[in-house]
Structure 1
Amino acid sequence: MTRKQRVLFLCRDNATLSILAEALLRELDGLHFDAFSAGLEPADRVHAAALGELRHGFSSLDLLNPKSWLEFTSEWAPEMDFVVTLCDESARVDVRAFHGTPKLRHWTLTPSAHGATHAIENAFWQILKRVEDFIAAERRPWPSSLKLPAVASCTTDACDLLLSGQ
């Protein structure tokens, strides 16, 4: 069976942008992707306005907390398939610090996406669009594990045998 692709979103403080990206990817396609986020200098807590954007309908808010990117470089850390940076500072991180060979992506957001609380709504919509585009471009289809024989036609007795497993 194919495992989910693992995606790490990085920003400076892991309080807003990377948190939004992690939550959106998990919510929109948690079937195909495992989403994580981290920061170069993690904040003490998630920005309240970021949680406000996610409040309606998001089931994974309890999983969101700022953490250091170094947690994803230790020897026990999971191998990432993608590392997505969300600020210029995090874009300078050496992707070789991670296990395996993750693909590096950098998402540039408009300047109004940074800073003041009212700008977080703008960041939310930008990241939502980026996550949707990412899913469309990177989702791998699950392998077809159930191969049923093609039956052109069958009598009632033959169909009963197929359904009963005899």
Structure 2
Amino acid sequence: MKRVLFVCTANSARSQMAEALLRHFAGNSFKVFSAGTEPSEVDPRTMQALHDFGLETEGLVSKSIDSIEDQHFDFVISLCDKAHRECRHWPGSGVVMAWDFPDPKTSHDPKAFALTLQELDERIRLFVQVNSKEVKSEVKSIQPVDFYKSLADETRLLCLLLIEQQGELCVCELMAALNLPQPKISRHLSQLRKVGLLLDRRQGQWVFYRIHPLLNDWMHNIVKDTLAHNPQLLDAPRASLNDMNSRPSQGGNMCGEEKIDDQ
């Protein structure tokens, strides 16, 4: 098993999130650690964000980098500039990487911890796909015919355009925007996910869909260009979405429990 160490200054937020995410996605392929150059206590907001995201938090404690300085790691990944400066020459390490994410503790945005976790989620998924041969990749080789077939249906096209515009949406938000029943929306989202155009993630009771971050550039450009040159397609759906109260993608809890379809 490859050994991965996530490092930040306090080991109270970003590195704890990264440790929990990598264990969740590839705990059988990586042995995961986190530590801080000046460790403190794990921020309660970190624990809450992980809990809301549906991740295991047991055993997450703030640790000093001094306690593991004699160990070998295949990857040492820093999550702030200060930690990178102090750990760039980790003894016996294989690869030293710098992922500089803003510290959510310094932000006044009430969603800062959740947003940081979402950004780390995408980076960790890519890390697993690139560095683990044992973990089945979620990236599929999409054939042009399948891509254009996906765009040929009006509901799937509007779902893609709305998700591209909004960044992330759940089933009930798409139901409200398109005024369509849950089974129809879920069926089309499942098809888009199976083809490889969408990626989903669970956060608590919600399942959010986004454009796959590893989608071929030319395919993603077609989706973006379609949206840019045909904004009128989303006039009515966007108005309906804006009228929706307590949207899950904005931290609300308007909808009932959702599930990922056709895993």
Report the TM range for the smaller structure's normalisation.
0.7 to 0.9
* Partner in structure 2 of residue 157 of structure 1: none
* Partner in structure 2 of residue 148 of structure 1: none
The match for 1:106 among 98, 101, 105 is 98
The match for 1:53 among 10, 27, 49 is 49
Q: How many residues align?
A: 132
Task: Give the Cα separation in 2 of the matches to 1:102 and 1:122.
Answer: 30
The match for 2:16 among 15, 19, 26 is 19
Gaps of 5+ in 1: 143-166
Q: Is the 8 A contact 2:15 2:79 kept in 1?
A: yes
Q: Is the 8 A contact 1:6 1:81 kept in 2?
A: yes
Cα 1:107–1:97 shift into 2, 3 Å: closer
Please state how far the C-alpha of 1:69 moved relative to its aligned partner: 0.9
* Partner in structure 2 of residue 34 of structure 1: 31
* Partner in structure 2 of residue 118 of structure 1: 111
- Tell me the percent identity: 30
Q: Is the 8 A contact 2:4 2:76 kept in 1?
A: yes
The match for 1:10 among 4, 7, 12 is 7
What is the 5 A alignment of 1:56-95? Answer: 56=52, 57-59=54-56, 61-74=57-70, 77=71, 79-95=72-88
Of Structure 1 and Structure 2, the greater helix share is in: 2
Task: Give the Cα separation in 2 of the matches to 1:36 and 1:46.
Answer: 14
* Partner in structure 1 of residue 227 of structure 2: none
Task: Give the Cα separation in 2 of the matches to 1:40 and 1:94.
Answer: 9
Cα 1:94–1:37 shift into 2, 3 Å: closer
Please state how far the C-alpha of 1:70 moved relative to its aligned partner: 1.2
What is the 5 A alignment of 1:146-161? Answer: none
* Partner in structure 1 of residue 123 of structure 2: 130
Cα 1:141–1:118 shift into 2, 3 Å: closer
- For residues 112-166 of structure 1, what are the alpha-carbon distances to aligned partners after superposition, in whole Å with 9 as ceiling and x for unaligned? 7452353111110111111011001111339xxxxxxxxxxxxxxxxxxxxxxxx
Q: Is the 8 A contact 1:95 1:102 kept in 2?
A: no
Q: Is the 8 A contact 2:13 2:46 kept in 1?
A: yes
Higher relative contact order (CA 8 A, sep 6+): 1
